[in-house]
Amino acid sequence: MQAVVFGASGYSGAELLRLLDGHGEIEVVGVSGESTAGRRVGDLYAGLPRAVRELRIRTTEELLGLIVGAELSSVELAFLALPHGVAERLAPQLLRHVSTVVDLSADFRLADPSSYPSHYGREHGEPELLEEAVYGLPELKRSALQGARLIAAAGCYVTAATIGLLPLVERSLVEPDHIIIDAASGISGAGRSLKEENLFVGREANYSVYGLRHHRHVVEMEQNLGVRVIFSPHLLPVSRGILATIYARPSNELKAQLEACGDEKSADALLRELYATRYQNEEFVEVTAVPPDLSSVVYSNLCRVSVVYDVRTNWIIVVSALDNLTKGAAGQAIQCANIALGYLEFEGLPKGGRVP
């Protein structure tokens, strides 16, 4: 199947190109990038495979014109790695010519169009298309993704939080108003554009918090989980990866079960079994006894999760780790496309992290 990547010059777009080069069913035949139009992909990312390095970057309008016209009329799949607000305008045009559109921005993630003005500063321009869009988190919406035409890939922080909490919230095993998500991301999560606060001299050997109280990902987390959360995002001085530490109070029912275990080791085993059962058929979720770290997941499509119970304070502590560019963006988008198109879900996606 022929595909195009809009926004290929950004980090998520480049990650799409890296992963799709190893996909046995999908061939990338066109890419776009506004400020880099006219250059080759290899001029920006010399480390990408040779086949994609030779692709010439077009503007969005040029690439759209080639799809509508004769040159790329056989394209059936489009990935949109574009800024928020751009995909919303482009998707309706693309859906008249391709069978499947996967959007990596937030333009179609929120089910309620009234949420967009307060969180993204604008009215949603395609409310009818928003109703058609399928939320792109396979561990949550796998059946709905089958045959989907428009997919809204989940956010990176949201993926770490949702996978970390699903086994507990799905069965109402935690108090819905006492959940804290403390997460840190690599700097690539801020995108490729030049920003003063992201310069090397300010980020190297530094660690900072941002977006307290009003981060736009909170509404997406609460939409997925059906609970209220406090979310504190941080920037790490690393290029990629997210590590989330999540705190939740057990429900009275679960608390009684954990206390009946007699000791923390047995309580931890009970929780770990609960998580292992929930994710036993998931290719890209691994439940671990030891809390995961970033090096075990970067460059993979894995989300690794551990869970323990602190008897002294009566808090459940979950640690969730993933690569924000892979499972948190490009890998997730490909995983969703594989499900929608009937390919093997793991096609083109790495299961192992960086070694050493």
Q: Is the pLDDT of residue 124 over 70?
A: yes
Active-site residues, by number, are 156
Share of the chain above pLDDT 90, in %: 81
118-122, 166-170, 244-248: segment of lowest average pLDDT:
118-122
Is a pLDDT exceeding 60 seen at residue 70? yes
Q: Can you list the domains of the chain with their CATH numbers?
A: 2-132 (3.40.50.720), 157-323 (3.30.360.10)
Residue 199, pLDDT score: 60
Per-residue pLDDT tens digits for 304-330: 999 999 999 999 999 999 999 999 999
Query: So what's the pLDDT on residue 125?
Result: 84
Q: pTM of this prediction?
A: 0.94
Q: HEC states along the chain?
A: CEEEEECCCCHHHHHHHHHHCCCCCCEEEEEECCCCCCCEHHHHCCCCCHHHHCCEEECHHHHHHHHHCCCCCCCCEEEECCCCCHHHHHHHHHCCCCCEEEECCCCCCCCCCCHHHHHHCCCCCCHHHHHHCEEECHHHHHHHHCCCCEEEECCHHHHHHHHHHHHHHCCCCEEEEEEEEEEEECHHHHCCCCCHHHCHHHHCCCCEECCCCCCCHHHHHHHHHCCCCEEEEEECCCCCCEEEEEEEEECHHHHHHHHHCCCHHHHHHHHHHHHHHHCCCCCCEEECCCCCCHHHCCCCCCEEEEEEEECCCCEEEEEEEECCCHHHHHHHHHHHHHHHHCCCCCCCCCCCCCCC
Residue 241 has pLDDT above 60, yes or no: yes
Mean pLDDT of 230-247: 93
Q: What is the pLDDT of residues 173-189, one digit of tens each?
A: 999 999 999 999 987 65
